[in-house]
Chains A and B, each alone.
Chain A
């Protein structure tokens, strides 16, 4: 029994992974529009003509109205924090933001905390999750005004939107 990992009185523990390969999730073209918007430092949301709600990042369907959200709206890149958390101090290899280790890339220093937040951008009705940067963790509060922190040279990728920072 080469696979037996540990012997116990009544059961054995057999290690097994479930590597069923990569998935190819079908994304809406909306995401393409969204990242193109990011390249121009614009936040594009989907607008529902039924209930008037604006969702950022855009989503194709409105559950309330059960219809396609076929219109777009550019919302402000300023918004309000609706809730936040402060993580314990970061270590290398603990978190992946946009597929990258923020400690390794230098976005966050080792030992610093990360502040995931929900932001309601002016003109939107959704919880946009991102991280709050360039702030004293003690000063963070619900209702805090923030703006998008754009990458220096936007590439037309999700990473163009690095996070938000206080206004």
Chain B
């Protein structure tokens, strides 16, 4: 990268169902707290980038009402649709361009305002798929799960084990939504079926939540903090629409990861990464993500979950925070993963801290069957 850029502060809400805060208050609180965490003032921000979708916010040009809350009053501001990791990408580019030095990145969704699953129906092709009417994001995820499970002999137990790992991890995370410390494989497998094999506890919950982080150029980062978390590699990639796509693998995620690894000089992700925070909206996606990230061979994701390799105390911890199955305030979910990865590097993860994290991966996604993916490789001063 032409300029080193670091994360120097962050904050997130206590994600929950139907939060008793307005969208503006919720966003204000995380932005204020992120500035406080970095120890800087609003006046020191050069630019503010936010992420949400107009459909989920229930209004067009949905950032206009938020400029006060995010600290963008009379400042350079822009918004991206979809996941917060894409907002982070945008902010990173602004700093790399040399035109700005300090950025605040914010992302949020209040799933209680409007059912996010209902919105995803409108991402389908209006000429054919919408008229046929049988698909939505959950049905498509179930088709993907079925295809993947059939191809690689993955059982429903494997999916349930992945769900149990993340949901029990979430119980240690004060910001997570699902609080089920004693959840069992049997409980997951007997939860309500939405579209077979997808059950309620294999899906991310519908959460209200927001997060914000502060990004700074090398010079400013060193002035702001002793513990900058450096962005060492980034990659993003988008796959084709459902009809013309191989949905049993996450090809675009694989390509995004390869780009990020190359930039960060990561050759053996399994041994060189200390922790990964990924956006698994459904339990089967977690196994598919392991494979796309190169943490194991194609079709071997189930082995990592069977052997406990990706548990918090395993060799390659994935989602010690509980991941998206722990809380899913849609547009914020990927940016929360970046914050969780940064917390691990700075040793601020409290009850779910993984020992000696020097290098971490964070993943954000958007679209039906994870059509679009972004990867960030983060490192501490010692990495």
| Interface 9-mer from A55-63, A72-80, A145-153 | A55-63
- Asked if A25 meets B21 with Cβ closer than 8 Å, knowing A83-B150, A85-B195, the reply is no
B247 touches A63 (CB 8 A): no
Nearest B residue to A25 by beta-carbon distance? Answer: B126
Contact B143 A116, beta carbon cutoff 8 Å: yes
Complexed CA–CA distance, A63 and B239 (Å): 9
| A131: min CB distance to chain B, Å | 6
The smallest beta-carbon distance between B340 and chain A, in angstroms, is 27
Task: Please tell me if the beta carbons of A53 and B146 are within 8 angstroms of each other in the complex.
Answer: no
Contact A129 B129 (CB under 8 A): yes
- List chain B residues, Cβ under 8 A from A130: 132, 134
Q: Which A97-147 residues have a C-beta within 8 angstroms of B?
A: 97-99, 114, 116-118, 125-131, 142
Q: Complex: how many Å from CA A57 to CA B132?
A: 12
Q: Please tell me the size bucket of the interface on B.
A: 20 to 34
> Given the complex, which residues of B lie within 8 Å of A96, measured CB to CB?
133
Are B143 and A83 interface neighbours, CB within 8 A?
Answer: yes
A-contact bits for B234-255, CB 8 A (1 contact / 0 none)? 0000001011110100000000
A118 contacts B143, C-beta separation under 8 Å: yes
Pairwise interchain contact A95-B133, C-beta atoms closer than 8 A: yes
Residues of chain A within 8 A of B247, CB atoms compared? 83, 127
In the complex formed, the residue of A with least CB distance to B54 is A18
Residue from A10, A28, A31, A131 within 8 A of B134 (CB atoms): A131
Q: Are A10 and B195 also in contact (CB < 8 A) when A99-B131, A99-B133, A114-B134 are?
A: no
Known contacts A11-B21, A16-B58; A63 and B135 CB within 8 A of each other:
no
Q: Is the interface of A mostly helix, strand, loop or mixed?
A: loop
Partner of A85, one of B20, B196, B243: B196
Q: Which residues of B contact A83 (CB under 8 A)?
A: 143-144, 146-147, 150, 247
Question: B271 contacts which chain A residues (CB < 8 A)?
Answer: none
Chain A residue nearest to B112 (CB atoms) is A13
Which residues of the partner chain A approach B22 to less than 8 Å between Cβ atoms? Answer: 11
A106 CB to nearest chain B CB (Å): 17
Q: B20 near A8 (CB under 8 angstroms)?
A: yes
Q: Is there an interface contact between B143 and A158, defined as CB atoms closer than 8 Å?
A: no
User: Which A residues, 1 to 36, have Cβ-Cβ distances below 8 Å to chain B?
Assistant: 8-11, 16, 18, 23, 25, 27-28, 31
The answer to whether A31 and B128 touch (CB under 8 A), given A16-B58, A55-B244, A83-B144, is: yes
Q: Kindly identify, within residues 118 to 137 of chain B, every residue whose CB is under 8 Å from any CB belonging to chain A.
A: 126-129, 131-135
Q: Inside 8 A of B20's CB, which chain A residues have their CB?
A: 8-11
Q: Does B193 reach chain A (CB closer than 8 Å)?
A: yes
Write the residues of chain A forming the contact surface with B, with a CB cutoff of 8 angstroms. Answer: 8-11, 16, 18, 23, 25, 27-28, 31, 53, 55, 57, 59, 63-64, 82-88, 95-99, 114, 116-118, 125-131, 142, 158
Contacts A11-B22, A116-B135, A158-B128 supplied; 18 other A-B pairs, CB < 8 Å: A9-B20, A16-B58, A18-B59, A57-B128, A83-B144, A83-B146, A83-B147, A83-B150, A95-B133, A97-B132, A97-B133, A118-B147, A126-B244, A129-B129, A129-B134, A129-B135, A129-B243, A142-B150
Q: List 5 A-B contacts (CB under 8 A).
A: A10-B21, A27-B127, A116-B195, A125-B244, A158-B131
